[in-house]
Amino acid sequence: MRRRGRGWRRWRAYLPKRMRDIADIADFIAHNPRMMRCLAVLAAHGPAGAWIGAGFVRNAVWDHLSGQDTEANPPADLDVVFHDPAIATAEHDAGIEAALSVAAPDLPWSVRNQARMHERNGHRPYRDVDDALTHWPETATAIAARLGPQGVEILAPFGVEDVLEMIIRPTPAFRTKQEIPLARLGAKGWLTRWPMLRLVGLGDSH
């Protein structure tokens, strides 16, 4: 049986119109001034092809789907990710972070070149950002956005079903390390903020 957060039935009846697919997420971001500002600053002052991932997309979608004010709880960090083996040093990331902070000092930039993050995580080298995202703890976290020539682009190697269904599921890389997503669940207070979340593939859930 799928384990659900407390208050699921109570909240379900009050959810706003649900997003259906990746295009709906892109449209939602395109109509969110705060998120668009972040993406525009990154496109203008960040590394080529960079994305903002993790809670930037996930939290905003979950706030919207649960009827919360998407502007009330901006993410504590803007997780900027890109992949460039030629400049894969912490010092270079810090320089990019500094440039973004000059352009938008009120935003919490956190820059990580995914071409070096495999070393910290004990993995083989990541091929690109898409590959790096598959090694993040939860499928709903493995999603990123950027501003491209045609508008908002979404990267989601596991698709968007779990984030749209408010499901916390470990990625394949963490199926045998469930203690990590479970610890994140508690430390970040996700079930308090979004009581309707469902846990799948964690603990005794299926």
Does the reported pTM lie above 0.75?
yes
pLDDT at res. 27: 95
Residue with tokens 């697919």, as numbered in its chain: 21
**In the 8-state DSSP scheme, what is residue 170?**
B
Q: What share of the chain is helix, strand, coil (3-state, %, to 5)?
A: 45, 15, 40
pLDDT at res. 16: 52
Residue 197 Cα distances to 33, 85, 107, 147, 162, angstroms: 26, 37, 28, 29, 10
Distance CA 111, CA 8 (A): 35
Per residue in 19-76, pLDDT (tens digit) is: 899 999 999 999 999 999 999 999 999 999 999 999 999 999 999 999 998 888 888 8
* CATH class of this structure's domain 3-199: alpha beta
CB-CB contact of 203 with 182 (8 Å): yes
Mean pLDDT, rounded, of the chain: 89
Q: Which two tokens stand for residue 21?
A: 């697919």
Residue 114 has pLDDT above 90, yes or no: yes
For residue 122, what pLDDT band results from cuts at 50, 70 and 90?
Answer: confident
Distance CA 37, CA 60 (A): 14
Q: Which phi and psi (to 5°) does residue 68 adopt? A: -95, 160
Q: Which phi and psi (to 5°) does residue 9 adopt? A: -65, -40
